[in-house]
Amino acid sequence: MRAAPLALGAALLALGWRLAGQGMTGHMAAHMLATAVAAPCVALGIAGTRMDPARRLPRIVTPLAMSMVELGVVWSWHLPALRAAAAHSSILLALEQASFLAAGVLLWSAVLAPGARAMGVGALLLTSMHMTLLGALIGLAPRPLYPAMAHAAPWGLAPLADQQLAGVVMLLVGGAAYFVGGLGLLATLLRLEARV
């Protein structure tokens, strides 16, 4: 295992946990740190080891399948009822963050697997699209979707403004992380193709 990416991933998760109580914006930043920033660090740290899910379960942990798993996890936790439940329970909040990290690690592990990188490009671009769409839906909603979080709006923001900023965070960080990851994988494939 590579210690530096794992240490960076752990530090990012700790930062996310601290931000999670800062209204919808801080909570969304915590989500994005877990799934789109810390998860690839962890996946890089365990790539090729016996802890690597794609190495242990290569027929299950495939790029498109894990993209669908992440889509299900991310969209489910953003349903207003689940979001409200997690806002009122530290156990559910921890489960939410852990599931975001797990889904992210599974996806990034799958796309980093040596034989799956071409499919990984498509999976990351698909994930970028669904993250962008959900961020836009949250950010453009005409009313607060998560009233349970309205009391915690940071920096004097009104609940709707907090939610709109959270949508922008998801749209920018979530969309960009997967898009850049997909382009990075594509560049790797093109370099390998050029050597052949």
Is the pLDDT at 143 greater than 80, yes or no? yes
| Confidence band of 188 (pLDDT split at 50, 70, 90) | confident
Separation CA 170–CA 36 (nearest Å)? 10
pLDDT digits (tens, 9 = 90+) for 82-115: 988 888 888 998 999 999 999 999 999 999 998 8
Residue at 15: amino acid letter? L
Separation CA 30–CA 19 (nearest Å)? 6
Is the pLDDT at 18 greater than 90, yes or no? no
Share of the chain above pLDDT 70, in %: 96
| Confidence band of 196 (pLDDT split at 50, 70, 90) | low
Torsion of CA 165, 139, 24, 101, to 10 degrees: -100
Residues 84/45, Cβ–Cβ less than 8 Å: no
What's the mean per-residue pLDDT of the chain? 90
Least confident interval from 11-15, 22-26, 150-154: 150-154
Say what the pLDDT of residue 193 is. 67
Separation CA 167–CA 141 (nearest Å)? 9
